[in-house]
Amino acid sequence: MKAVFIDRDGTIGGGNDVTLPKDFQRFPFTQQALELLKNHGFMLIAFTNQPDISRGKCRMEDFEQELATFGFDDTCICPHQQEENCRCRKPGTLMITEMAKKYKLNLSECFVIGDRWSDMLAGMRAGTKTVLVLTGAGRDALGVDRDKWDSGRVSYIADDLLAACKWIIRTRVENDMKRYSKASLIGIIISLLAVLISVVNIIYCAINGEPMNSAITILCSTIAILCSNIAIAESNKKKPKELARSKNI
């Protein structure tokens, strides 16, 4: 299973500062972006620092209900203030690693999208790919906050959430294509070896005057398998509908 961890404030809506659920407004493109990821099989996990919960200004349930309404499959919320030095507050990795355990995620195949340096650093430390968006505090992450993290390690920088999601989908499809091509090549090599062994067997039978019916049958079968693998490889060279669709979303 592949998941995308998405920050809240400044990434899916709001601004540089925390906005309580009753006042929070999503960006116009947010719903399209989230649906795009879900339609391509990604699990959506919101992960956000919300220190106002520990200050008594709002409830954890308010954020959970809001994010579920937006279409997230699960939520990770750190309610603590910075001075509490908890392990879950970003750039800590606990929220990510707990979700990885819960859903058996391979974090190297997961993504973090956020507008702050702390989002990026959390993703890098956890081993995910990272996408910085330039909405919210995104430009500050590359400016006044640039010394707090290694911006050179970010996987991609996108103008907004929608652009980030499109890049993630393209990346996934292209990686899948590479895997398919590699598997096809291995199949062709194995089939060629089988054909070679069959030919050697026929030559051996001919030299020693032994019946060649079974050897010829095996040769024909291996040639058929080879042709099948070549056809699969040729098919994989062509852009499938999914790849073409991902290029034009």
Q: Is 243 left (phi over 0), alpha (psi -120 to 50) or beta?
A: alpha
Contact 87, 76 (CB under 8 A): no
List, edge to edge, every strand of the sheet that includes 74-78.
74-78, 43-49, 3-6, 111-114, 129-133, 156-158
Q: Where are the alpha helices (DSSP H) in the chain?
A: 30-39, 60-70, 94-103, 117-126, 138-142, 161-208, 213-237, 241-247
Show which residues are catalytic: 7, 9
Helix (H, G, I), strand (E, B) or coil at 151: helix
